[in-house]
Amino acid sequence: MEKVQGRRELGGGMEAEEPASPHEPLSPPSPQSPPPPPKLLSPAAPQSPELSPPEEPSEAHARQLLLEEWKPPGGSLELPPGLTWKLLFLRRPLYRNLLRSPNPEGINIYEPAPPTGPTQQPLETLGNFRGWHIRTEKVQRNCSWTVKQQCVDLLAEGLWEELLDDEQPDITVMDWYEDSRLDVCVYELHVWLLAADRHTTIAQHHVAPRTSGRGPPGCWVQVSHVFRQYGPGVRFVHFLHKTKNRLEPGGLRRTRVTDSSVSVQFRE
């Protein structure tokens, strides 16, 4: 599709690369520690009783299906006591997006960012931001950052300690932001892999991309990073991104972002 070709990528697909030119991602000053963790949401409500639940496979069939789908190293996985293949089949903790409301404004990256003017409406009224903790950070007289963050509890999502500590599957973060041209840098990504206390940092990634300013504005720019061999003890992923706003007559003109994701998978 012609419109798909207007997208640009930063970060070399799924790997984080060192900056090679002034337009490559830059590393902003790393915070000394992750911000105070947002309050974790309670588990999602069960399905409505009117909906018929899907037929559950047997334990042996669930094991066969998941091993074929996940392709773990060595072809098999040892489960800890109390965890069953049927439960894993229902929760699907691997190869899915663990963030809530990853596309809160309903914007499609396969189309250019729809034109929009300045607005005085609060961001929370422009879509479904369930799961995001939002604040505003002033940076200049007429500019500010919108800061959105989530803290993913990996064990609550269905992963288990032995898998995270021994196998250390890849943890991939990905995001798409609008080339809004509101400033030289209109987006930052900060991610921390945290221990069980939700404070101790085991690994982290910080990037502040700059775009070239060439071509039509509104293209989507991809940012991604893969955490590998991060060491034992990871239990939480704290995902935080910042998007630049500029105050204009009539309200704020915002940089939009969509299709944020945090996923866990075995290295291919």
Look at residue 252 and tell me if it is in a domain: yes
Look at residue 199 and tell me if it is in a domain: yes
The CATH number of whichever domain residue 254 belongs to comes to 2.60.120.260
Look at residue 240 and tell me if it is in a domain: yes
Look at residue 212 and tell me if it is in a domain: yes
Whole-angstrom CA distances from 202 to 17, 175, 259 are 20, 22, 25
Look at residue 85 and tell me if it is in a domain: no
Q: Select from 16, 37, 27, 33 the least CA-distant residue to 201.
A: 33
- Indicate the DSSP class of residue 130: T
Residue 14's pLDDT is what? 37
Q: Give the integer Cα–Cα distance in Å for 40 and 153.
A: 8
Residue 27's pLDDT is what? 63
Helix, strand or coil, per DSSP, at residue 163: helix
Q: In a structure prediction context, what are the per-residue pLDDT tens digits for the chain, which is 268 residues long?
A: 433 334 444 443 333 333 334 445 666 755 656 666 555 444 444 444 455 555 779 999 999 999 999 999 999 999 999 999 999 999 999 999 999 999 999 998 988 888 888 999 999 999 999 999 999 999 888 999 999 999 999 999 999 999 999 999 999 999 999 999 999 999 999 999 999 999 999 999 999 999 777 777 788 999 999 999 999 999 999 999 999 999 999 999 999 999 999 999 998 7
Q: Give the integer Cα–Cα distance in Å for 151 and 203.
A: 15
Q: Domain residues for 190?
A: 4-35+96-265
Residue 50's pLDDT is what? 53
Residue 13's pLDDT is what? 37
How many independent structural domains does the chain possess? 1
For residue 227, the tally of other CB atoms under 10 A from its CB is 22
Residue 53's pLDDT is what? 54
Residue 55's pLDDT is what? 72
Residue 41's pLDDT is what? 44
Residue 29's pLDDT is what? 59
Look at residue 205 and tell me if it is in a domain: yes
Q: Model-level pTM?
A: 0.82
